[in-house]
Structure 1
Amino acid sequence: MFFRKKKQHSMQVKRIPHNDGIDIGIELVSGKDSQELSLPLSKEEIENYYKLPGFQAYVCWEELYDAGLLTDSRLSYEDYYQLLDEETGVELLEQLQLPVEEMNVNGELKLDSLPELAELKLVLKNENAQTIDRIGRRNGAIAVINQQLFLLPGKVYELQKAIEAEYETGYQKIGVCQKLANEAHIDQEDFLENESYHVVDSYDLEMKVHSPNHIELQPVGSTPDETTVLGSPSPVTTYKTSNKRDRFVRTEKISRDIIQLSKKRHITGEEVPLFFENPLAVLPEHDYEFDLEAFSERVRGIIPIEKVRPYSQGDSGIQWFDPEADQPATYDEDFLRTLMEQHPNEQYIQHENKWIYLDPQMRKNLLEEVVEEDQSLKKNFTLDIKDNETDLEYRLEANDTEQVQEYQIPQTLKADLFDHQVEGFQWLCHLEERSRGGLLADDMGLGKTMQVITFLLHQKNQGKLSPTLLVLPVALMENWIEEIRKFAPDLLSSLYIHKGSGRSKSSAHISSYDLIFTTYDTLKIDQLLFGKINFQSIICDEAQNVKSHSSQRSRALRAMKSEFRLAMTGTPVENSLEELWAIMDFVQPGELNSLKEFKQQFIEAADYEGLLKAIQPYYLRRTKEGIFSDRLPKKEIKDPIYVEASKIQKSISESMLQTKETGQIAILNMLMRLRQLYGHPGVIIPEYETLPASEVPKVKEVMSVIDRIKEKDEKVLIFTEFRKLHSIFKRLFMEKYGVSVPIIDGNTANRQGVVKEFNSRLGFGIMLLSPKAAGVGLTITSANHVIHYTRWWNPAVENQATDRAYRIGQEKDVSVYQLITRDAQNFPNGTVEELMHELLENKRELAENVIIPFDMRGVQEMVSSTIISNYSKQLEQ
């Protein structure tokens, strides 16, 4: 009787190097038969293969795929070398049986032709002086010797690429390759040793100031020789010293630049200050490599430019102001008017060794303001605006400064604010400080008017109130005046109501007031009058009154000039989402793109969730019930799961404390390492990477949670910012559960594709995500469990991360889990995880009290400060 031996199945790595990268594949081997697998494996394939020897190699292969580093299974050598700079990357390459140590080589660069042909050859030898091309073969960065792969040094690979690349001239090619050969410590044959080529591919511009109305631009190289080459008519310049020659070669791009520069080397007259303000206006064909900001700052100290603009100063009328010097200018109107009349077509005028910039609006004011009543108002003219309806023609950028500060309630406010009103006031100040507009969309009865009155008092205290325009329905005007009289009487001293037949026809007179009230229809009629005024703020109450974007009300409002814009309405949409677009195109022009794009992106796609996210930085709405209460299932934040640190973790944390590190940076680094340690010791100590889950309490507990989710045949999202944890978890979870575990972090190139694949798979699934990289822009409603494995500093970021699953389209109740490690032995006052949890929960209500929260990025600094204070005390003990 014969017994047939059972075939052994395994998964093996297949590696094929090419000139530009290495193909990586996984084969399913059964005896003498093999089958090449494709990425990604199906759920059924993973379930069949995950217990086979070599499965971890597949996991690493898939990890490269998740990160977008594979193109048709090929890993480029550029990405290969970049992976070598990362600890996790080295481990991935090792699992895939790829070399991670650079080969010791030496060699010689040879020239096999005349210099102008530049036929170069690189001969490499190993440490035994064997020529590599004789004992093996080279494919890009990989040398194959006796069927074993060796990795060439990165600089050698760069040199090899340069030899194979195309150049403008042979001289340029030799120059580039000689430079790389020196960096790679590669010898050069005698001819190349004695004949050095240098490529001039960059330069600086220096200025010689002859007078305030005459400067000269001079190209300067990194060495005196290069400077000489830049001024030479020939693109190649040779210098000979003893037996050696140095040849300097200009690139075609640099030669073109020099030719263009020579046409405008001397800049004179009014073009001097114009060049400092906008070099492109003087040299439209330029392609010069110099730092315009540094250039401009340096020159202004030599040739002053004074910008004179009008501003209103109480009863004294129009004054003149230089915003660059931040102080009044010492000119009277007659002097400035005379300058303008003498130079009718010039904006820059030289006077007493400096340039005066005459603002066009000031010119118009001085030369035309003598007519008290604007004659054009008698005509039925309207302002033609860039309406952003078909194309995005006008966009107003916001300041993204992250600094968050507390604003004091003005002492002149004669009212006690509710908490949500204080919050709204802070939000308004926050927006104005950052040059952002806002849409205050609180439900009726929550006191929008009071929040804005408090903001107006704050602006008055800051000297930023005059002039401010309030546009509102006539029926609300008396209510506003009564509210101001009762709670902010200081605002009454300079308040002007612009309505009726006796209203002013002078822009200067109107702008001399702190507050100007008018109606939507009056603004429409007097839009040319108001359009001249530079308002500090424009505030619209019941902003839905602008109605259609094509209405004259809407177009007039959007034509106004202001530093800050606020729309107030409890019903931003009455009939159509186009009404919201019209309001937002006033609040922050361009933020919702053109109306045409808005319709395609949000209206036609019915993407209401996406719309809410788009307006989030400018939108504050509080309602009594919450706007999502009837759209989404319940979201249950589970009680925290506490675990006690393992012996290994306690030992490591104890050794950290014994270092007695001091200083803020050192303590912050320790806090990060402690967070990583409690997540998994292998994150900070590689030899612990393969610890079984039973020896890492947090991992053991998270797998218990996952086991329960798997029993329900549901999906889970696990958030942590530590990429090493992603890698450990991916290998651990795929080996235990036999499912694909995709990762989305800052390196994931195809986030939407990864999500689509994950959402399409039925049943149980796990995804690993970074809260910052994956916290926005993704809809993963196929999952209804969220685990915050390591906490993020800002509860709003965690909420956004949770909302990847808890959003429109979710059909199941969403469960949110938090795991916290205790270590009473070393941290009796609480571990970093315990302290973070306590502080984050204290701030969660603030982060959740609006559907679209305002910017709370400052919470991270506050949390960090509190934790540092706690640990500093413990370190002192």
Structure 2
Amino acid sequence: MINISNSLTDEGIKIVSNVQQRKNIFEIKIPLFLNPVEYFKNISTKELEKLNVLEDLWQQGILQDKDNSYIIPYEFLYNIDEEKRRILSLPIEDNAIKVHIKARGIFGSNDFKLIPEVYVKDEKMGPLDRRINNIILHKGCMYLIPLNLYSLLQEIDAYKPTDDPISQAKIVAKVKYKAKTANVTFDRFLESEEVYYSEKLDVDIIKYDDDHLQIVPVLGDEIDSLLKDSKDKVLKQYNTLYGEGIKRKRIFFEDEVLKNYNKIVNRGHLRGSEIPKFLIDPYSILPEDIDLSNFSKRVKELGLKVYRANPYINIKKDKDSGWFDFEVGGIIHEDVGSFDEDVDNVQEYGLTGDDKIDVLEYSQLVQKAIESGEDYVNYKGKWIKIDIEQANRFLNIANNESFSKVQKIDITRLPYVLKIYENLDDLEYNETALNLKKQFIGDFSTRDFTYPMYLKNCHLYEHQKEGFLWFKGLYENHLGGLLADDMGLGKTLQVISFLCYLKECNELKPTLIIAPYTLLNVWENEIRKFSEITSIYRHSGYQRYKTPEILKNYEIILTTYETLVRDQLLLGQIDWKAIVCDEAQRIKNSTTLTTSAVKALKAKIKIAMTGTPVENNLGELWCIMDYVQPGLLSSYHDFRRTYQKPIEDAIGNKNEEYLAIKNKLLNTIRPVYLRRTKDGILSLPAKNEIFPEVELTTFQEKLYCQLIENYKNNEKKESPLGVLQKLMELCAHPRLIQDDGDGDTYKFINESGKLQRLIEIMNEIKLKGEKAVIFTHYIKMQTILRKVIMDVFGINCLVINGNIKGDRMSVIDKFRKSPGFNIIILSTRAAGVGITITEANNVIHYTRDWNPAVEKQATDRVYRIGQTREVNIYYPICTSSRGKTVEERLNEVLQKKIQLLNEVIIPSRYVNIEEENYDYLLQDFSAWSM
């Protein structure tokens, strides 16, 4: 028998788990694999479910090891979802908790204080009740104080008695501010005190005209209204309005809020070139604490746009003569506000094609920038960014007497002319020019491959060698590139190999790698593991360096997209040898500050990495390509008309026109775009997909009919998705929808046809001495599986529901290093990323995900580089003689969707099963009757 108890300590809730065997009591350790299997003999599913939840909290870092015991810190209770709290008998947030606050003592004297009276279910806490941090003990029950109310009580707890009336008024202001969102009342004195406080500062933008903006600090409706008529624009920590006495109103601030408020007020009005600088890099003016998540949307609403002008080469072949029309000049792109972030259909208004200007006009813009000493100049009512250094290098070539008058050129002279221009970092090419340029580069053969001097501890596969040579060719020809290899092909190692080559050429320092925060550790560890590059600096956090001179001393700088937005002005001063954007879907939309910040950086080579370059619409591919090779796909307006709309309109009926447009797009980007899938690239062992049919048990069929009858009789008030989800749960196991108490293991097995078939599959795997991974996202199903596997096979298998952090990788390592037959259970989505388990070669998708891309990513934990054995992937599907089940229909839909998976130009959202598919999944309901 398992006993799990909770007790309150100073540090948090202490969790003690014991198992009694005969007369002995043993403590259960977390993670559970540390315990002998014998501890769990005859354990009930309810007890095991509690242990599974504890293990999940441990993996998340919520349940912490402390002096040979386990503690959940009080503040972490709010990070545990309500269902898990109920399973562990932890207190639930109770909105029935109310607080009435009284003032005691004389205001201005040392005995003044605030007294909170706490009520639970309208009963005032008595002398036998008590509060420990955010927990209330009332009549033998534990209650969790709602977070907003607890924050208020913390302010009162932290108050130290003083005779300073200003400090006293400030605590009253803080408490009244936090009381707005909490269940709080005040006595008459406190209620009458007109004191105000704000812990959050926001900004608004007022547009007077295209050449005049005002940045306005926002503290909240009440305070902003009070300050509206105030003569004092610069505030103090303590501000009195409307005189003294009973009519006075007082406003209080924390130091940081006050400093930021006054900084914004003093900056005030923006005019001229200050406007585009602010729009592109708002943190150059605004404090770092300001949340700018809606900034791009606000800029778009105001109709504000910024543009950039780059040098441009345009080549068109003359069909009659065989010569080429050769044109150089400038091209002006929109930099902010091109298309909406959250919709697929672009709003046509406000979109224009690129403006091409000749060398003379471009030269005049550059001269204007030089004379004004500004990076931005106004051209025909548009603010345009000019890179003066880049522009001068271009103009020196374009105005050279040998080239300035060239309008037509033959094929023999073209390579020489292109070579002259290619030493410009951000030169833009049209499609013809870039394809011709690539022809002169030539194709790479891995016969020419030699390992970079500073690469170590690894063997590159053939496709990785090709990727390295591709990067090398791009760099030598001043081109950027998008590496869009399938997951599991080692994109990171290919980039590290290239970085080692740059170090060998003394061209590495400084290089910038931008990645999501969760991947910074991966990058640093992989660079140190596979290379001799040791000069690495992680640029993040408040203590990060703020001068470019220090940063330039490192070979590799690692930073996040969020930090880049804040430090755009700093990082933009550095001439980077290379910039690498990992998970480049983060720059898929040109309206975001992130995309603008990335595109503003200077580098000899710009690299993007992502396995999913298209998620919602093809405009995302355009945006990423516009970063790595500006101009190749022309303006977004032209791209949408030429490629996006025809392709997305034709999804589902791939006719010849669709194929022609798709191939034209892929051929256009091919020189700077590399995508390989595992099929046909890796010499991986065979992958066998098996779809065993499983008969529903009589018990399952009965419940299946009941669910359908209830849905029909309820006049379909229940959503179609709701009944579909219940039917999916029933197919997995009837206990997921109707649990009538604990039963023994063999009763669980008898109730579910799918579970019976799983046992048969596992027996086959056991005979071969192999390992298996079972995927299901249902928490209760994970518990049932764990119990059955424990009782049938004697294996205390591991269960992972979320991301494994830090030393918790020991959970995975335990499974990987165990000899022979073993099983691990993973949540399809939560644990399907960032884990490699090539030691297993059997995958069972016990329950299906509604997006085959997610299932594929889960399978790729096993089927990837490092796998040496044939992989069997099982998709058990419930069937019935009564008619087709929802699992059969779902599998049919998924198989059709899978055909779209490898079509990189098809947005992945088209692969997901959505509402449009519900009718097909529901169409067999009429065949089922009681």
Do the structures match in fold with TM over 0.5? yes
Deviations 1:154-213, CA, capped at 9 Å, x for gaps: 554343334335799655443333344454423323332222532223344344556654
Q: TM-score, normalised by structure 1?
A: 0.65
Matched, 1:720 2:776: yes
Specify whether residues 541 and 864 from structure 1 end up closer, same or farther in structure 2 by C-alpha distance, changes over 3 A only.
farther
Of 694, 702, 725, the match for 2:758:
702
Cα-to-partner distance string for 1:107-137 (whole Å, 9 max, x where unaligned)? 43244567788854433244584534x1133
CA deviations 1:575-628 (Å, max 9, x no partner) are x98996379999x995999999766444699xxxxxxxx986776558998743
Q: 1:532 to 1:306 in 2, by over 3 A?
A: closer
Superposition deviation, residue 24 in structure 1:
0.9
1:194-593 correspondence to structure 2 within 5 Å: 194-207=192-205, 213-223=211-221, 225-226=223-224, 228-229=226-227, 231-238=233-240, 246-281=249-284, 283=285, 288-289=290-291, 291-301=294-304, 312=314, 314=316, 315=325, 317-318=327-328, 321-324=331-334, 326-327=352-353, 329=355, 337-338=363-364, 340-341=366-367, 344-346=370-372, 347-350=375-378, 355=383, 357-358=385-386, 360=388, 365=394, 369-373=398-402, 497=411, 506=417, 510=418, 527-528=422-423, 532=427, 534=429, 536=431, 537=434, 539=438, 541-544=442-445, 557-558=474-475, 560-562=477-479, 581=498
Partner of 1:65: 58
For 2:798, give the aligned amino acid.
P
Change over 3 Å in CA distance of 1:688–1:176 after alignment to 2: farther
Structure 1 residues 577, 858: closer, same or farther in 2, change over 3 A?
closer
The two structures, once aligned, show a CA RMSD in angstroms of 5.2
- Structure 2 CA distance for aligned equivalents of residues 252 and 243 of structure 1: 27
1:434 aligns with none
* Change in CA separation of 1:327 and 1:725 when aligned onto 2, cut-off 3 Å: same
Q: How does 1:105-120 map to 2 (within 5 A)?
A: 105-112=97-104, 119-120=113-114
CA distance in 2, matches of 1:683, 1:805: 28
Q: Distance in 2 between matches of 1:102 and 1:624?
A: 54
Residue 23 of structure 1 corresponds to 14
Pairing partner for 2:173 from 166, 172, 175: 175
Secondary structure at 1:267 match in 2: strand
**AA matched with 1:69:** I
Which residue does the alignment assign to 2:921? 871
State the match for 1:832 in structure 2: 886
1:23 maps to amino acid: K
Q: What amino acid maps onto 1:373 in structure 2?
A: S
Alpha carbons 2:211, 2:275 under 8 Å: kept: yes
Residues 68 and 676 (structure 1 numbering): CA distance in 2 closer, same or farther, change over 3 Å?
farther
Task: Quote the Cα distance in structure 1 between the aligned partners of 2:862 and 2:377.
Answer: 62
Change (3 A) 1:730 1:601: same
User: Which residue is equivalent to 2:801?
Assistant: 745
Picking from 648, 671, 683, the partner of 2:724 is 671
- Between structure 1 and structure 2, the one with the greater Rg is 1
1:659 CA drift (Å): 5.9
Q: Which of the residues 787, 795, 808 maps onto 2:844?
A: 787
Which residue number in structure 2 is paired with residue 461 of structure 1?
Answer: none
Cα offset, 1:787, TM superposition: 1.5
In structure 2, do the counterparts of structure 1 residues 781 and 121 end up closer, same or farther at CA, with 3 Å as the change threshold?
A: farther
- Written as runs of structure 1 = structure 2, the 5 A alignment for 1:650-661 is 650-655=704-709, 657-658=711-712
Secondary structure, counterpart of 2:399 in structure 1: coil
Task: State the shift of 1:720 in Å.
Answer: 1.6
1:587-736 aligned within 5 A: 600-602=528-530, 620=675, 627-628=682-683, 636-638=688-690, 640-644=692-696, 646-655=700-709, 657-658=711-712, 666-685=719-738, 692-706=748-762, 709=765, 715-731=771-787, 733-734=789-790
Residue 721 of structure 1 deviates from its aligned partner by 2.7
Report Cα offsets for 1:56-77 as digits up to 9, x if no partner: 4545433443454311222234
What is the match of residue 117 of structure 2? 123
Question: Equivalences for 1:769-808 in 2 at 5 Å?
Answer: 769-793=826-850, 795=852, 797-806=854-863
Q: Secondary structure at the match of 2:843?
A: strand
Structure 2: distance between partners of 1:530 and 1:306: 15
**Cα separation, 1, equivalents of 2:870 and 2:358:** 71
State the shift of 1:821 in Å. 0.9
- Size of the aligned set, in residue pairs, is 701
- What are structure 1's unaligned runs of at least 5 residues? 1-9, 376-466, 468-493, 511-522, 606-613
C-alpha distance in structure 2 between counterparts of 1:224 and 1:157, whole Å: 23
Aligned-partner residue type, residue 102 of structure 1: D
In the alignment, is the contact (CA less than 8 A) between 1:313 and 1:319 conserved in 2?
Answer: no
Letter in 1 for 2:333: P
Change (3 A) 1:247 1:743: farther
What's the secondary structure of 1:692's corresponding residue? Answer: helix
**Of residues 49, 73, 83 in structure 2, which corresponds to 1:76?**
73
Q: What one-letter code is carried by the residue in structure 2 that aligns with 1:868? A: Y
> Offset of 1:789 from its aligned partner?
0.6
- Closer/same/farther in 2, CA of residues 114 and 345 from structure 1, 3 Å limit: farther
TM-score by length of 2: 0.62
Gaps of 5+ in 2: 161-165, 317-324, 335-350, 454-467, 534-608, 613-672
In the alignment, which residue of structure 1 is the partner of 2:544? none
Report the secondary structure of 1:198's partner residue: strand
Deviation at 1:100, TM superposition (A): 4.3
Moved more, 304-313 or 736-745: 304-313
Which stretch has the larger CA shift, 668-677 or 334-343?
334-343
2:129 to 116, 125, 136: 136
Query: Is the 1:43–1:739 contact (alpha carbons within 8 Å) kept by the matching residues of 2?
Result: no
> What is the distance in 2 between the residues matched to 1:270 and 1:362?
19
